[in-house]
Amino acid sequence: MSSSSGHFHLTLLGRSAEGQPPAEAVEAEGVAAPLLRVGDLARMAGKTVRAIHHYEELGLIEPAGRSKGHYRLFEPESLVRIRWISKLQSLGLSLGEIRTLVRNRQGSGSAQQSADQLRQTYEAKLLEVRARLQELAALERELTASLAYLDSCGTSCAPELTPTDCAQCDRHPETEEPDLISGAMV
């Protein structure tokens, strides 16, 4: 078992834990860093091999090279990039928008310009997330009120009433009928 940047690669009799020959190693500033095959990278990232190939086709990640067996080999940092891609997708960015971010970053004239572009994207997404959180909080209040309303139905409703009687219910005079209740009664 060897460690590089906190990542471990288990080799058993010349094979990885998955039964594949060990990944190649490259010299980086005097330290051997294991490269990851596309299948290993996919497993570590929780993605499919096809997704990794798609990211490569879009220019979101790049292989460091190929093994003697012609396997694509990726730097361990590719895993960080894939996690970043996943988080951006969770924020609602498409792969095309992420590709634009990557290209803008690569084409930036300066680190400061690159950071400003990322900042603008992240600020816009933060506003969207906060708006969504407010929507979810309102939905939570509506659900809580609806459940309280329905709980009172269990104690104040008569068993002989039919669901159509709910529309004319006068057993909840002190409670405003939440939209999630009134919409169900129509």
pLDDT of residue 178: 86
Where in the sequence is the domain holding 19, given as residue range(s)? 2-91
Model confidence, pTM: 0.68
Residue at 98 is within a domain: no
The one-digit pLDDT tens for each residue of the chain (186 residues) are 444 444 433 333 333 444 444 455 444 444 456 899 999 999 999 999 999 999 999 999 999 998 888 888 999 999 999 999 999 999 999 999 999 999 999 999 999 999 999 999 999 999 999 999 999 999 999 999 999 888 878 777 777 877 777 767 777 766 778 889 888 877
pLDDT of residue 170: 73
* Residue where a domain stops, chosen among 91, 125, 159: 91
Residues 5 and 82: their CA atoms lie apart, in Å, by: 17
pLDDT of residue 124: 95
What CATH number corresponds to the domain at position 87?
A: 1.10.1660.10
Number of folded domains in the chain?
A: 2
> Do 67 and 33 lie in a common domain?
yes
> Do 87 and 126 lie in a common domain?
no
Distance of CA 166 to the CA centre of its chain: 42
> Do 87 and 153 lie in a common domain?
no
pLDDT of residue 148: 87
